[in-house]
């Protein structure tokens, strides 16, 4: 070990760590630099089968350092070599990652032939020691174990999912242009350029929430759920397939950054949810998204959003409104980690030209000439309409590779409730169905605002005593109430700082976490004195280790570990549900920890039946029960 | 030049690679049986002028002598004894053959000649068709001289749990003289007076090039007479040799024209192997690798759970656990290219993950070792295993010799030098799948009362003689006792290599053997010499000496020890404990903890571990393997360099596992799947108590040193 690191030191010390951001020195002769992006590229070997055309394989490439085309080609050549070699022995499961002493390569075959390849330079610790000859020597240790494969792989999957939901598949883009890859290259560049360079891989980014990439659901009680459902069904009923005219096929209801209900298929749920949340402007609070490089990406998104921000209408006739504080202003200040702003690439794609809906549509239809207005193309700038439309690509059928373009019409309610309805852009025959998007949106707003209870809904718990006949207002009120309750209860579940937990439901991707913010250096999970919940990065990575065990060992149902610093970490799995728990009481015994776990799991696992009644898995949350379960 | 594969097809047999055909002549003599050992010397002499290459040297010198030998035989061939060219593949063989041939009275030698020439045709064929194959043959087997004979004799019916049952299915045991001859050679080698240094020098001057052996021909002029004369004494003991020759697997079965051949007169020979040239596949040194003939383009080959590949840093294939390494040279080329790409960027390729497959690389220039596994073992565990394979190669060659070879010639084909030791690489691969000692970095001890162990140790200690470095009594994979100089302990990794040596070949069971071995942790630059002799069933005595001429002294030590043990009535009890120990020593029921299914206990201080017999539900091979994988998983999770664990509690469908590490011990225990945590805690504490009570019979708490017995 000594020998190898010493050998490495010789080279590493000679090459300046220019690409490593902010190496930090501590007093004891240690210099650490975090892991950082080396390069990211997307390629498809099918596009350049010969030596002469090889460069056409490369669809996108970004690196910290400018490199020659040759260097780029060498890298994707290596990538293909590794992938092909792995395929000899593992023909079905492609190469996922490659560990080397200094770097980590991560692969994701997003679509057949289309590879995303990320290279990360590992973090280092340099320490100066006295050599045998008495001269100080620098020994570099590469922190291989601080880049967790599960997190990085999840990043690539998420990045692609976001691309697909805003652009459709890469293959369809190439296909739409008769095999010309230029438009795809441009889209990829627009999508990734501001984003990728902000990817961070230091230890604070290695957390379980990112690896799981769950969705935050708003816990609803049954009455609220039924009200929401009634509202959604009413809209769908009104815009059902009648042979002509726009059809609402899917819906998604969110409250701030939380998902209330949706019938988008599971494969697309995360990405659509993120997109809707972003569209509605509550993404800043989303804890599932990747941190942008605070300075750079923050600046970029600010600029681009500004173009829209000024045209944003806050007036509201029907009570829809957009909170300017939380929406049109992207974080101009660095977002707090890890609850940083959604890594949305959308801002960079938008252009002013794309604002009007007609362009949105044509762009969505794939005219490469017209910039695609996928963002918050505000429909009625002057007329005070508050719905907005943006194209989203997702599939109709479970497990189908195909994705179809939809116009997502988002209606914002001032309470924070967002209703999003999706209309396929093309009907079954392939004809465009939305001739006049703007008027359609207006019509839909009016329809929704005009919805009333068939019979006045008496809500005995509403307290205010007044019952509105507006279904929308009523739903909003109930949802807000549930949200407040959940917030209160959430605090109660574990106000004990020595016990943290994370709940994840693989079925509907629901996640609920009380883990705390990861501190860069902390070795244990104890809270900082400031009262903020801090989580040691060691602990955070130990959670990832357990997740990895669950992934690799399908029959494992419970894993309990105790670290040398005596905190306990428990992972428990029951069918599709997983609970992770940290008990940092140092004197706890295995049996005591089990008691804590039992208490917590009784909240989540034993209430399956309650949440299972809901029709769509996405609408039922594991948490609906938490409202009724006494502490 | 044709590739070996080409030549194979040319002979219209799917198994005749040049190597194979070249090997065949060597095996011929087995048909003729020596009637008496005593004839050996003189007859050999008489034959010498035209056929007799010099006898084999010690391993140290082998590499150089190989060349020497092949050179001489090559010239012989030119002189009209065609056999030589083909035969030089096994330099030891010719000498042995020449000796043995003389022994059968009368016409048998004639037969041998004729059959030989037939074989020689093949030999020549390979000569012309495959330079590489020839080179390999020439420098090949002799390297391991004394030991290589052991390699052929793969024991199908081995009782060591370590050798998989699969193997026995694919093997036919066979007795032939081959083993004896080679064994003899090994013994002859000890009469060599060349020093290690001199030999090393030979090697370097040789340049490792098989085509230039003639330069070194003079060296071959060792005095065989003397050697053989002395060897005669050894014949008596050697005569008992049982030689097992694995049957060529699958496709070659058809070649068992065998039955028509004269049956071996020795016992336990179901059918005699045919030694037709086309019959011997892939077999340098007579050892038939499992799946050796498997086609690397088939999924059957790629789907093996764990591949091991060893290649030189120039990309030359050296070893493949499955299939014929020479045929997968294209893969080796890819591996080499990938590795160099990273090296060009001043980086080191370490691991590739693809689905459940893991590709692990260990770069030990001039060797690259690669593992392709879907066994679920961790990267670090697989790399450790590659490290063991590397150590195994070192134990045959020494580090310094290997480095020197590759300094001389970058693209040297090492297969020649380690040829015949593949069996130990294979057996190591198997042992690592069954024996937890590798993962724990600890040694298993035979369970027996401490008093007996102490008494046995005392007998060993009193038998000390000057050149004796270590004295060990082992069952093939369990340590009974170890005597050592006070200043030198023995590293578990070295001991694992010894265990592998013993469990890899059962030849040792039937005779005294004297083999050079490099124990890399002790000193990777030079050889030690091991005297190996089973003094009772499953009880093997190893005497390790730095002096390669100390065979007789060692043999005397053994004699003394055996007498001492017998006088004390200890030998019989040793044998019974060893028999019990092979099953597991004790059962989990002995602990009196119902609910406990199995456990591994490692004493970190003593670097030893113990475990009970694998009984239900771990009686089947699959279940055992699964349990070992579970243990490995626990072990790996708890020993990560970053984020290590003190305690790991893992509930799966089949069992609940507890891993518990303190400064003094590591405990891994398996319970039923539905057991409660409090019960696990209770049982574990009870188990620890039981172990403490039994510790002195489960472990060796005081490893005696020789000085104690002065």
HEC-encoded secondary structure of B623-648: HHHHHHHHHHHHHHHHCCCCCCCCEE
Looking at residue B106, its pLDDT comes to 35
In a domain? residue A224? yes
Looking at residue A30, its pLDDT comes to 80
Q: Which residue in chain B is spatially nearest to A539 when comparing CA positions?
A: B643
How many domains does chain A divide into? 3
Task: Reply yes or no on whether the pLDDT at A269 is more than 50.
Answer: yes
Whether residues B338 and A81 touch (CB distance < 8 A) is answered with: yes
Kindly compute the dihedral angle of the four CA atoms of residues A494, A496, A501, A505, in this order, to the nearest 10 degrees.
Answer: -10
Q: Which residue in chain A is spatially nearest to B306 when comparing CA positions?
A: A89
CATH code at A194? 3.30.450.70
Q: Averaged over B679-686, what is the pLDDT? A: 92
pLDDT band at B145 (very low <50, low <70, confident <90, very high): very low
CB B364 within 8 A of CB B402: no
Task: Reply yes or no on whether the pLDDT at B176 is more than 90.
Answer: no
User: Which domains are present in chain B?
Assistant: 4-208+215-279 (no CATH), 299-434 (3.30.450.70), 443-581 (3.30.450.30), 588-698 (3.30.450)
In a domain? residue A363? yes
Whether residues A545 and B643 touch (CB distance < 8 A) is answered with: yes
Whether residues B353 and A99 touch (CB distance < 8 A) is answered with: yes
Distance (Å) from the alpha carbon of B306 to chain A's nearest alpha carbon: 10
Rounded Cα–Cα distance for residues B316 and B405 (Å): 14
Q: Are residues A152 and A257 in the same domain?
A: no
- Helix A149-167 and helix A537-552, axial crossing angle in degrees, nearest 10: 80
The size of the A-B interface in CB pairs under 8 A is 144
**What values do phi and psi take at B547, rounded to 5?**
-100, 120
pLDDT band at A52 (very low <50, low <70, confident <90, very high): confident
Rounded Cα–Cα distance for residues A608 and A164 (Å): 33
Rounded Cα–Cα distance for residues A376 and A458 (Å): 36
Q: Are residues A196 and A212 in the same domain?
A: no
Report pLDDT digits (tens) over A504-529.
888 888 888 877 776 654 444 444 44
Q: Are residues A143 and A245 in the same domain?
A: no
Whether residues B338 and A94 touch (CB distance < 8 A) is answered with: no
List the one residue out of B104, B84, B85, B91 whose CA is nearest residue B29. Answer: B104
Q: B 314-333 residues with CB below 8 A of A?
A: 331
Q: B 157-186 residues with CB below 8 A of A?
A: none
Whether residues A99 and B641 touch (CB distance < 8 A) is answered with: no
DSSP states along A46-71: GG--STTTGGGGEEEEEESS---HHH
Task: Reply yes or no on whether the pLDDT at A488 is more than 50.
Answer: yes
Distance (Å) from the alpha carbon of A131 to chain B's nearest alpha carbon: 22
Q: For strands A534-536 and A517-519, give the pairing.
A: parallel
In a domain? residue A302? yes
Q: Are residues A121 and A16 in the same domain?
A: yes
Q: Are residues A260 and A293 in the same domain?
A: yes
In a domain? residue A614? yes
Q: B 518-557 residues with CB below 8 A of A?
A: none
Cα B557 to the chain's mean position, in Å? 25
List the one residue out of A585, A574, A561 whose CA is nearest residue A608. Answer: A574
Q: Are residues A166 and A315 in the same domain?
A: no
Rounded Cα–Cα distance for residues A54 and A76 (Å): 10
Whether residues A95 and B647 touch (CB distance < 8 A) is answered with: no
Report pLDDT digits (tens) over B187-229.
333 333 223 333 333 333 333 333 333 333 333 333 333 333 3
Q: Which of B353, B647, B654 sits opposite A561 (nearest CB)?
A: B647
Q: Are residues A186 and A257 in the same domain?
A: no
Sort out which chain B residues have CB atoms less than 8 A from A542's CB and list them.
Answer: 643
- Mean residue pLDDT of chain A comes to 69
Range scoring the smallest mean pLDDT among A68-82, A601-615, B256-270, B295-309: B256-270
Here the ipTM equals 0.75
Report pLDDT digits (tens) over B594-617.
889 999 999 998 899 999 988 888
CA B33, B39, B40, B45 torsion: positive or negative?
negative
Task: Name which of A38, A89, A145, A570 to mutate to probe chain B: the one with the most chain B Cβ atoms within 10 A of its Cβ.
Answer: A89
3-state SS, residue B515: strand
Looking at residue B99, its pLDDT comes to 32
Looking at residue B140, its pLDDT comes to 31
Looking at residue B88, its pLDDT comes to 37
Whether residues A591 and B334 touch (CB distance < 8 A) is answered with: no
Whether residues B355 and A90 touch (CB distance < 8 A) is answered with: yes
When computed from its CA atoms, the radius of gyration of chain B, rounded to whole angstroms, is 25
Whether residues A563 and B643 touch (CB distance < 8 A) is answered with: yes
What tokens appear for B291 in the block?
A: 């799946």
Q: Are residues A323 and A423 in the same domain?
A: yes
Q: Averaged over A446-460, what is the pLDDT? A: 64
* pLDDT greater at residue A467 or residue A14: A467
Sort out which chain A residues have CB atoms less than 8 A from B308's CB and list them.
Answer: none
Looking at residue B182, its pLDDT comes to 36
Rounded Cα–Cα distance for residues B444 and B437 (Å): 7
Cis ω before A258 (30° cut-off from 0): no
CATH code at A500? 3.30.450
Q: Are residues A172 and A283 in the same domain?
A: no
Whether residues B307 and A89 touch (CB distance < 8 A) is answered with: yes
Q: Averaged over B420-426, what is the pLDDT? A: 86
CB A245 within 8 A of CB A427: no
State the residue for tokens 């948490």: A623
Looking at residue B411, its pLDDT comes to 78
What tokens appear for B321 in the block?
A: 């656990």
- The edge-to-edge listing of strands for the beta sheet with B539-545 is B478-483, B470-475, B539-545, B528-536, B513-517
Question: In this complex, is the C-beta atom of B649 within 8 Å of any C-beta atom belonging to chain A?
Answer: yes
Task: Reply yes or no on whether the pLDDT at B281 is more than 60.
Answer: no
Neighbours of B109 (CB within 10 A): 18
Question: In this complex, is the C-beta atom of B344 within 8 Å of any C-beta atom belonging to chain A?
Answer: no
Q: What residues form DSSP beta bridges with A470?
A: A452
Whether residues A81 and B337 touch (CB distance < 8 A) is answered with: yes
Domain boundary among A177, A205, A233: A205
In a domain? residue A459? no
Rounded Cα–Cα distance for residues A485 and A630 (Å): 13
Whether residues A98 and B349 touch (CB distance < 8 A) is answered with: yes
List the one residue out of A277, A533, A511 whose CA is nearest residue A417. Answer: A277
Whether residues B334 and A85 touch (CB distance < 8 A) is answered with: yes
Distance (Å) from the alpha carbon of A549 to chain B's nearest alpha carbon: 9
CB A479 within 8 A of CB A562: no
Report pLDDT digits (tens) over B543-601.
999 988 888 888 888 888 999 888 888 888 998 898 888 877 888 888 889 889 999 99
List the one residue out of B422, B434, B513 whose CA is nearest residue B152. Answer: B422
Sort out which chain B residues have CB atoms less than 8 A from A15's CB and list them.
Answer: 346
Q: How far is residue A293 from each of residues A298, A300, B240, B424, B652, measured CA to CA in Å?
A: 7, 10, 77, 55, 41
Question: In this complex, is the C-beta atom of B616 within 8 Å of any C-beta atom belonging to chain A?
Answer: no
Task: Name which of A100, A555, A586, A598 to mutate to probe chain B: the one with the most chain B Cβ atoms within 10 A of its Cβ.
Answer: A100
- The edge-to-edge listing of strands for the beta sheet with A568-574 is A215-216, A510-514, A499-505, A577-583, A568-574, A558-562, B647-651, B656-661, B665-671, B596-603, B608-610, B443-444
**What values do phi and psi take at B557, rounded to 5?**
-60, -45
Q: Are residues A199 and A180 in the same domain?
A: yes
CB A414 within 8 A of CB A449: no
Looking at residue B366, its pLDDT comes to 87
- Mean residue pLDDT of chain B comes to 66
Q: For strands B367-373 and B443-444, give the pairing.
A: unpaired
Q: Which residue in chain B is spatially nearest to A548 when comparing CA positions?
A: B637
Whether residues B643 and A538 touch (CB distance < 8 A) is answered with: yes
For residue A432, give the DSSP letter. B
Q: Are residues A216 and A171 in the same domain?
A: no
Q: Which residue in chain A is spatially nearest to B355 when comparing CA positions?
A: A93
Q: How far is residue A304 from each of residues A283, A300, B17, B578, B638, measured CA to CA in Å?
A: 16, 6, 70, 79, 49
Question: In this complex, is the C-beta atom of B348 within 8 Å of any C-beta atom belonging to chain A?
Answer: yes
List the one residue out of B487, B576, B507 whose CA is nearest residue B537. Answer: B576
Task: Reply yes or no on whether the pLDDT at A334 is more than 70.
Answer: no
What b-and-e string marks burial along B364-375, b requiring 16 or more CB atoms within 10 Å of the CB? bebbbbbbbbbb
H or E element at residue A305: helix A296-309
Sort out which chain B residues have CB atoms less than 8 A from A82's CB and list them.
Answer: 338, 352
What b-and-e string marks burial along A360-380, b requiring 16 or more CB atoms within 10 Å of the CB? bbbbbebebebbbbbbbbbbb
Rounded Cα–Cα distance for residues A501 and A603 (Å): 12
Looking at residue A312, its pLDDT comes to 26
Rounded Cα–Cα distance for residues B62 and B202 (Å): 10
Whether residues B654 and A555 touch (CB distance < 8 A) is answered with: yes
Alpha helices of B323-474 — where are they, by DSSP H?
329-344, 379-397, 399-408, 415-418, 422-431, 437-440, 450-462
List the one residue out of B287, B540, B624 whose CA is nearest residue B426. Answer: B287
Whether residues A538 and B650 touch (CB distance < 8 A) is answered with: no
What tokens appear for B9 in the block?
A: 């097809």
| Host domain of residue A595 | 494-627
Question: In this complex, is the C-beta atom of B335 within 8 Å of any C-beta atom belonging to chain A?
Answer: yes
Task: Reply yes or no on whether the pLDDT at B39 is more than 70.
Answer: no
- The edge-to-edge listing of strands for the beta sheet with B306-312 is A58-63, A36-43, A114-121, A103-111, A95-100, B349-354, B357-364, B367-373, B306-312, B317-320
Q: Averaged over B455-469, what is the pLDDT? A: 86
Sort out which chain B residues have CB atoms less than 8 A from A545's CB and list them.
Answer: 637, 640, 643
Looking at residue B85, its pLDDT comes to 35
Q: Averaged over B439-464, what is the pLDDT? A: 89
Domain boundary among A205, A238, A261: A205
Q: What residues form DSSP beta bridges with A572?
A: A558, A579
Q: Which residue in chain B is spatially nearest to A101 when comparing CA positions?
A: B348
Rounded Cα–Cα distance for residues A125 and A135 (Å): 19
Looking at residue A443, its pLDDT comes to 80
Rounded Cα–Cα distance for residues B166 and B440 (Å): 26
pLDDT band at A397 (very low <50, low <70, confident <90, very high): low
Q: What is the percent of chain A with per-residue pLDDT over 90, rounded to a whole number?
A: 12
Sort out which chain B residues have CB atoms less than 8 A from A145's CB and list them.
Answer: 640-643
Beta-strand runs (E) in A238-369: 250-255, 258-262
In a domain? residue A472? no
Task: Reply yes or no on whether the pLDDT at B153 is more than 60.
Answer: no
List the one residue out of B325, B395, B577 whose CA is nearest residue B475. Answer: B577
Contacts of B83 (CB under 8 A, 6+ apart): B25, B51, B73, B76, B77, B94, B116, B117, B119, B120, B123
3-state SS, residue A309: helix
Looking at residue A469, its pLDDT comes to 66
Q: What residues form DSSP beta bridges with A100?
A: B349
Q: Which residue in chain A is spatially nearest to B375 when comparing CA positions?
A: A552
Q: Are residues A439 and A562 in the same domain?
A: no
Task: Reply yes or no on whether the pLDDT at A622 is more than 60.
Answer: no
List the one residue out of B148, B132, B89, B65 whose CA is nearest residue B316. Answer: B132
Of A246-255, B87-96, B410-419, the range with the highest mean pLDDT is: A246-255
Domain boundary among A205, A237, A260: A205
Report pLDDT digits (tens) over A145-189.
889 999 999 999 988 988 888 888 888 888 888 888 888 999 899
Whether residues A594 and B359 touch (CB distance < 8 A) is answered with: no
What b-and-e string marks burial along A205-217, b requiring 16 or more CB atoms within 10 Å of the CB? bbbbbbbbbbbbb
Whether residues A542 and B643 touch (CB distance < 8 A) is answered with: yes
Question: In this complex, is the C-beta atom of B633 within 8 Å of any C-beta atom belonging to chain A?
Answer: yes
In a domain? residue A362? yes
Whether residues B650 and A82 touch (CB distance < 8 A) is answered with: no
Q: Which of B356, B374, B653 sits opposite A555 (nearest CB)?
A: B653
Looking at residue A388, its pLDDT comes to 67
Q: Which residue in chain A is spatially nearest to B377 when comparing CA positions?
A: A552
Alpha helices of A129-169 — where are they, by DSSP H?
149-167
Rounded Cα–Cα distance for residues B659 and A96 (Å): 30
What b-and-e string marks burial along B433-454, b requiring 16 or more CB atoms within 10 Å of the CB? bbbbbbbbbbbbbbbbebebbe
Q: Which residue in chain B is spatially nearest to A563 when comparing CA positions?
A: B645
Q: Which residue in chain B is spatially nearest to A7 when comparing CA positions?
A: B346
Neighbours of B234 (CB within 10 A): 23
Report pLDDT digits (tens) over A279-318.
776 654 333 333 333 333 333 333 222 222 222 222 222 2
In a domain? residue A312? yes
* Length of chain B measured in residues: 710
């Amino acid at each position: 070990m000594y020998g190898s690191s010493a050998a490495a030191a010789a080279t590493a010390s000679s090459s300046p760590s220019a690409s490593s951001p902010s190496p930090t020195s501590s007093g004891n002769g240690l210099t650490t630099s975090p892991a950082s992006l080396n390069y990211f590229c997307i390629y498809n070997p099918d596009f350049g089968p010969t030596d002469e055309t090889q460069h056409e394989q490369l669809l996108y490439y970004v690196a910290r350092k400018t490199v020659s085309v040759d260097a780029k080609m060498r890298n994707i050549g290596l990538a293909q070599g590794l992938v092909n070699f792995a395929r000899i022995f593992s023909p079905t499961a492609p190469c996922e990652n490659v560990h080397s002493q200094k770097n980590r390569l991560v692969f994701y075959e997003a679509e057949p032939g289309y590879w995303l390849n990320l290279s990360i330079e590992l973090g280092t610790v340099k320490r100066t020691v006295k050599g045998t000859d008495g001269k100080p020597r620098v020994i570099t240790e590469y922190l291989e174990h601080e880049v967790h494969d599960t997190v990085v792989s999840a990043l690539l999957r998420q990045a692609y999912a976001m691309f697909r939901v805003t652009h459709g598949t890469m293959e369809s883009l190439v296909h739409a242009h008769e095999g010309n890859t230029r438009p795809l290259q441009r889209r990829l560049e627009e999508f990734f350029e501001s984003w990728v360079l902000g990817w961070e891989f230091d230890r604070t980014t290695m957390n379980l929430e990112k690896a799981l990439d769950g969705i935050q659901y708003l816990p609803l009680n049954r009455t609220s759920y039924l009200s929401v459902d009634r509202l959604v069904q009413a809209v769908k009923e009104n815009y059902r397939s009648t042979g002509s005219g726009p059809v609402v096929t899917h819906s998604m209801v969110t409250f701030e950054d939380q998902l209330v209900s949706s019938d988008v298929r599971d494969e697309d749920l995360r990405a659509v949810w993120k997109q809707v949340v972003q569209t509605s402007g509550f993404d800043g609070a989303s804890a599932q998204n990747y941190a942008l490089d605070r300075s750079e990406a923050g600046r970029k998104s600010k600029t681009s959003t500004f173009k829209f921000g000024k045209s944003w209408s806050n007036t509201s006739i029907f009570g829809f409104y957009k909170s300017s504080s939380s929406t049109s202003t992207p974080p101009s200040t660095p977002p707090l980690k890890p609850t940083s702003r959604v890594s949305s690439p959308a801002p960079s794609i938008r252009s002013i030209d794309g604002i009007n809906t007609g362009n949105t549509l044509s762009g969505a239809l794939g005219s490469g000439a017209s910039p695609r207005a996928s963002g918050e193309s505000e429909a009625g700038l002057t007329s005070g309409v508050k719905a907005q439309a943006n194209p989203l690509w997702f599939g109709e059928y479970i497990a189908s590779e195909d994705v179809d373009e939809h116009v997502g019409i988002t209606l914002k309610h001032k309470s924070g409730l967002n209703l999003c309805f999706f209309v396929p852009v093309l009907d079954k025959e392939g004809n465009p169905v939305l001739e006049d998007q703007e008027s359609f949106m207006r019509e839909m707003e009016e329809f929704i605002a005009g919805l009333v209870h068939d019979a006045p809904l008496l809500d005995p718990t509403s307290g205010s005593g007044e019952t509105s006949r507006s279904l929308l207002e009523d739903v909003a009120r109930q949802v807000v109430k549930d949200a407040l309750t959940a917030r209160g209860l959430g605090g109660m579940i574990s106000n004990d700082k020595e016990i943290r937990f994370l709940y994840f439901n693989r079925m509907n991707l629901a996640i609920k976490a009380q883990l705390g913010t990861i501190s860069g250096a902390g070795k244990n999970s104890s809270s900082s004195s400031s009262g903020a919940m801090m989580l040691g990065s060691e602990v955070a990575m130990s959670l990832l280790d357990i997740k990895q065990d669950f992934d690799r060992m399908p029959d494992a149902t419970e894993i309990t570990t105790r670290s040398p610093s005596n905190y306990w970490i428990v992972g428990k799995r029951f069918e599709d549900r997983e609970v992770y728990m940290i008990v940092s009481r140092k004197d706890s015994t295995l049996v005591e920890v089990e008691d804590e776990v039992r208490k917590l799991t009784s909240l989540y696992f034993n209430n399956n039946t309650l949440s299972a009644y809901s029709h769509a898995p996405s609408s039922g949350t594991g948490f609906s029960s938490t409202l009724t379960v006494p502490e | 030049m044709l590739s070996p594969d080409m030549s194979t097809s040319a002979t219209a047999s799917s198994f005749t690679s040049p190597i194979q055909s070249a090997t065949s002549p060597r095996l011929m003599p087995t048909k003729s049986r020596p009637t008496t050992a005593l004839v050996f010397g003189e007859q050999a002499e008489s034959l010498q002028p035209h056929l007799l290459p010099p006898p084999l040297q010690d391993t140290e010198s082998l590499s150089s002598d190989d060349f020497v030998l092949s050179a001489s035989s090559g010239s012989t061939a030119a002189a009209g004894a065609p056999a030589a060219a083909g035969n030089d593949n096994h330099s030891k063989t010719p000498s042995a053959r020449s000796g043995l041939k003389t022994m059968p009275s009368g016409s048998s030698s004639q037969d041998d000649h004729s059959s030989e020439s037939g074989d020689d045709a093949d030999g020549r064929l390979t000569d012309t068709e495959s330079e590489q194959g020839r080179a390999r043959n020439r420098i090949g087997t002799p390297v391991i001289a004394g030991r290589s004979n052991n390699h052929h004799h793969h024991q199908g019916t081995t009782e060591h749990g370590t050798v998989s049952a699969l193997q026995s299915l694919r093997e036919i045991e066979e007795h032939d003289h081959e083993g004896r001859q080679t064994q003899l050679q090994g013994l002859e080698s000890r009469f060599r007076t060349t020093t290690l240094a001199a030999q090393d020098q030979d090697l370097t001057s040789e340049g490792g090039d098989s085509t230039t052996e003639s330069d070194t021909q003079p060296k071959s002029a060792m005095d065989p007479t003397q050697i053989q004369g002395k060897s005669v004494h050894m014949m008596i003991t050697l005569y008992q040799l049982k030689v097992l020759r694995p049957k060529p697997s699958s496709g070659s079965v058809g070649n068992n024209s065998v039955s028509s051949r004269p049956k071996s007169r020795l016992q336990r020979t179901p059918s005699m192997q045919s030694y037709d040239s086309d019959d011997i596949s892939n077999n340098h040194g007579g050892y038939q690798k499992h799946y050796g003939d498997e086609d690397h383009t088939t999924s059957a080959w790629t789907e093996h759970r764990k591949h091991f590949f060893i290649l030189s840093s120039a990309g030359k294939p050296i070893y493949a656990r499955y299939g014929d390494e020479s045929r997968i040279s294209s893969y080796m080329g890819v591996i080499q290219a990938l590795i160099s790409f990273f090296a060009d960027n001043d980086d080191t390729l370490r691991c590739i993950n693809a689905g459940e497959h893991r590709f692990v690389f260990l770069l030990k220039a001039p060797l690259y070792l690669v593992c392709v596994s879907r066994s679920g073992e961790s990267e670090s565990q697989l790399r450790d295993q590659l490290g063991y394979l590397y150590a195994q190669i070192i134990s045959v060659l020494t580090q310094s010799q290997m480095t020197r070879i590759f300094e001389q010639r970058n693209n040297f084909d090492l297969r020649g030098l380690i040829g015949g030791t593949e069996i130990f690489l294979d057996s190591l691969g198997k042992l690592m799948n069954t024996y937890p000692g590798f993962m724990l970095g600890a040694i298993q001890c035979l369970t027996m009362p401490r008093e007996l162990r102490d008494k046995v140790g005392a007998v060993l200690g009193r038998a000390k003689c000057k050149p004796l470095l270590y004295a060990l009594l082992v069952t093939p994979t369990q340590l009974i006792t170890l005597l050592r100089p006070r200043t030198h302990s023995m590293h578990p990794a070295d001991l694992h290599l010894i265990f592998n040596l013993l469990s890899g070949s059962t030849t040792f069971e039937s005779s005294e053997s004297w083999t050079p071995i490099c124990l890399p942790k002790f000193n990777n630059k030079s050889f030690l010499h091991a005297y190996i002799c089973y003094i009772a069933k499953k009880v093997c005595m190893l005497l390790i000496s730095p002096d390669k001429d100390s065979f007789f002294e060692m043999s005397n030590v053994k004699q003394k020890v055996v007498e001492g043990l017998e006088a004390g009535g200890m030998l019989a009890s040793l044998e019974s404990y060893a028999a019990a120990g092979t099953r597991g020593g004790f059962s989990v029921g002995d602990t009196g903890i119902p609910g406990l299914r199995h456990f591994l206990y490692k004493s970190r201080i003593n670097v030893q571990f113990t475990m009970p017999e694998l009984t239900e539900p771990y009686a089947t091979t699959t279940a055992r393997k699964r349990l070992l994988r579970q243990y490995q998983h626990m072990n790996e999770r708890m020993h990560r360099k970053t984020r290590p664990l003190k305690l790991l509690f893992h509930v799966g469908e089949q069992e609940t596992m507890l891993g518990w590490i303190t400064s003094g011990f590591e405990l891994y225990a398996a319970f039923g799947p539905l057991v409660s945590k409090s019960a696990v805690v209770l049982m574990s504490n009870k188990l620890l108590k039981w172990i403490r009570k039994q510790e002195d019979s489960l472990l060796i708490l005081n490893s005696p040193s020789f000085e104690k017995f002065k």
